[in-house]
Structure 1
Amino acid sequence: MRLTRLTAEILEQLGHLFVVALLRSLSILPYEWVARLGSALGAALYALPGRRKHIVLVNLRLCFPEKSVREFDELAREHFRHVVRSYLERGIQWFGSEQTIRNIVEVESEIDLEEENPPPTIFMGFHFVGIEMGCMLYSLQSPVAALYTHMSNTRLCDLARRQRGRFGAEMIERSTSARKIVRLLHEGKPVMLAADMDHGIENSVFVPFFDVPACTLTSVSRLARMGRARVVPFVTEVLPDFKGYRLNVFAPLSDFPSASDINDARCMNAFLETQILKFPAQYYWVHRRFKHRPQGMAAVY
C-alpha cells in the first residue's frame, strides 16, 4: 500500500513538473504560434468522443434549441478550438513577460480605470475563454483582489494562485469570509469575481439562463450590498485572426444591487446572455452549467 501511494505521488510530481515545463516553453514562443497550435489541437480533439464534448453539446441544445444539428456541430467544434487554445495560452498568461501581455490585450472601458479615488467596486467577470488574460492585464495596471475556486489538485492550485497573483493581485479563496472582502472594498481595493457557474444550491437561486432554470449564485449582490459597492461587468473577447484580446469594461449595472437576490440574479444572467450572443463560441460551455436542477426536473448530463 505504501509503495503504491509513493508511486502515485511520484507520478503526480512528474506530471506537475511536465505541465510547468510545457507552460514555460510555450511562454517564450510567439503568441500567434501558440494560438494557432491550440486552435488546431482543439479541432483535432473535437473529433474524438468524450465527456466534455457531450457536455458542450447538451448545453448548446438547451440554450439554442432553434439551431440545427449542423449548427450545433460547427459551434461546438469552434468552442473546442477556443478552449484548448486558452489552455495552451496559460503559458503566456502565467509565465510570459509583462510587455507580452500588454502587447496582445487592448482595453475598452466605459469607466475611468485610472480614477484616483473610485467608489468601492466589484468587477464582475464571466467565464469566457479569455477571462484569465483580461484579469492578468488589469492586475498589471491597478491593485486588485481576485476570488478563486480551490482545485482538487493541490499542486496545480498552488501554481495557478501564485502565477495569477504574480503582478500583485491578492488571491482570495472563494470560501473566505465575506467580511474580509467587504473590508477590502472599504479600503479602496477593487474585487474581481465571477458568479456564472453552478457551485451548488447553497447561496444560489434558480433563474432563467436562455430560458433554462440555472442555479445562480447570489454572492455578487450580497457583497455589493454589504460593501456599498458598484458592480462593473467585464468581458474579455478573443479577437479574430489571432490578433490577441480585447478587455471590455462596461458601465456599472443600474439599480444593482436591488432588494431582491432573485431579481439581481436575473439581471446578471440577462446581461451575460447579451454578451454570449456576440461571440457564442467563446463562452465556457464545457462547464456543467445546469448540473443542479430544480426539484422535479430531470438531470441533463
Structure 2
Amino acid sequence: MSDSRKRGRLLGRLGYVLIVVLLRVFAVLPYTLVARFGSALGAMLYALPSSRKHIALVNLRLCFPGKSEREYDDLARNHFRHVVRSYLERGIQWFGSAQRIRKLVHIESRIDLEDRNAPPTIFLGFHFVSIEVGCILYSTRLPAASLYTRMSNARLCSLAKRQRGRFGAEMIERSTSARKIVGLLRSGKPVMLAADMDHGIHNSVFVPFFGVPACTLTSVSRLARLAHARVVPFVTEVLPDYRGYKLTIFEPLSDFPSESETIDARRLNEFLETQINRCPEQYYWVHRRFKNRPPGVPGVY
C-alpha cells in the first residue's frame, strides 16, 4: 500500500473518531446550547461559497418563483441554520436516552398508535431536517422497521444504522427486495420510509413538485398495493424558541393507492407541498431534488 493511501486511511479513521467524540459531547450538553450553537454555525457556513449553498438557492428559485434575491438569501440562510443545527443535534438523537428523546418530542397522532388490530401500515416520512428524531421517537414506543440509504462512508453508515436502531427498530437498506418489506408489513410490523428524493429514473415518474417536473419514486404505491397497506404520512418539525420538536402523524391517505402510480406520486407531492409551505426553511433544500430531468429538459445545477 502506498504512503498516500496509508495517510488517507489514517485521516479517515481520525475523522471518524473525531465525529463520534463530538456527537457524544453534544449528547450530554443541554439541548438549547447545542441548538443555538448549530444555528450560529450554520449562519457562518452560509457566508462561505459552497456547492450546497448553490443547490439550495437553485431549488428555492425554482419552487418559489417571484421572490426577491433578498428573500431567497434570507430563506437559504435560515435553512442552513436548520441543516447544520440538525447535524449537531444528531448527538442527542443517536446517543441520548429514550427518556430524553421523549421529553424533546411532542407527538400528535390522528390515528390510534396502540391499535392491535391495525392493518399493515406504511409510515411515510418526508425529508424535513428533523425527520430522524421522529423516527427514533416512534421506535422507543412501538416496534417498527425503517428504510435507510447507504452512506458513502462505511464507518459512518454502520454507526448511523446502529444508533438509529438502538431502541429496537429493524433497519433495512433501501435496496432490499420489495418481497421482504411486504413480508414485514403483512406480519404486522409498520415500515417507515421516505420517497421524496431523486433516486434516479428507475421506478420513478416525472410529476410536478411546486410546478417543476421532479423525478418521484413510485415505490409507495407498489408496496401499499402488494401488502394491502394503508399509507400514513408523518412530519417532524422543529419547534420555535428551542422547545424541541413536534411529530405529527396524519390520517391515512384516502383511496390510496389508485390505479395510476403517476396520480399517486402527484398526490404525495401535493401533500408535501402543503407541509413545506408551513415551514419552508426546514425542508432539505440542499439535496439535488431536480438532478434528473425529463428528456430534452436542461439541467439546473
Is the shorter-chain TM-score for this pair beyond 0.5, marking a shared fold?
yes
> Which residue number in structure 2 is paired with residue 232 of structure 1?
232
Q: Equivalent residues in 2 for 1:211-250 (5 A)?
A: 211-250=211-250
Is 1:137 the equivalent of 2:137? yes
> Which residue number in structure 2 is paired with residue 67 of structure 1?
67
Amino acid paired to 2:84: V
> Which residue number in structure 2 is paired with residue 7 of structure 1?
7
Is 1:274 the equivalent of 2:271? no
The CA deviation at 1:5 is 1.7
Whole-angstrom CA distance in 1 between matches of 2:265 and 2:273: 12
Amino acid paired to 1:158: S
Whole-angstrom CA distance in 2 between matches of 1:264 and 1:221: 7
Whole-angstrom CA distance in 2 between matches of 1:4 and 1:44: 32
Whole-angstrom CA distance in 1 between matches of 2:117 and 2:142: 12
The CA deviation at 1:117 is 2.1
> Which residue number in structure 2 is paired with residue 296 of structure 1?
296
Amino acid paired to 1:28: V
> Which residue number in structure 1 is paired with residue 255 of structure 2?
255
Whole-angstrom CA distance in 1 between matches of 2:3 and 2:150: 28
Whole-angstrom CA distance in 2 between matches of 1:34 and 1:225: 43
Whole-angstrom CA distance in 1 between matches of 2:135 and 2:210: 26
The CA deviation at 1:199 is 0.2
The CA deviation at 1:11 is 1.0
- TM-score of the two chains, using structure 1 as the length reference: 0.99
Whole-angstrom CA distance in 2 between matches of 1:158 and 1:35: 25
The CA deviation at 1:272 is 0.1
SS in 1 for 2:21: helix
Q: Equivalent residues in 2 for 1:142-221 (5 A)?
A: 142-221=142-221
Whole-angstrom CA distance in 1 between matches of 2:280 and 2:297: 26
Q: Note the aligned Cα RMSD (angstroms).
A: 0.6
The CA deviation at 1:2 is 2.6
Structure 1: runs of 5+ lacking an equivalent: none
SS in 2 for 1:89: helix
Whole-angstrom CA distance in 2 between matches of 1:23 and 1:54: 27
- TM-score of the two chains, using structure 2 as the length reference: 0.99
Whole-angstrom CA distance in 2 between matches of 1:14 and 1:136: 28
Q: Over residues 220-275 of structure 1, what are the superposed CA-to-partner deviations in whole Å (9 max), with x where a residue is unaligned?
A: 00000000000000000100000000000000011111111100000000000000
SS in 1 for 2:122: strand
Task: Determine what percentage of the aligned residue pairs are the same residue.
Answer: 72
Q: Over residues 25-76 of structure 1, what are the superposed CA-to-partner deviations in whole Å (9 max), with x where a residue is unaligned?
A: 0000010000000000001111111110000000000000021111101100
Q: Equivalent residues in 2 for 1:13-32 (5 A)?
A: 13-32=13-32
Whole-angstrom CA distance in 2 between matches of 1:186 and 1:254: 20
Whole-angstrom CA distance in 2 between matches of 1:233 and 1:66: 30
Amino acid paired to 1:269: N
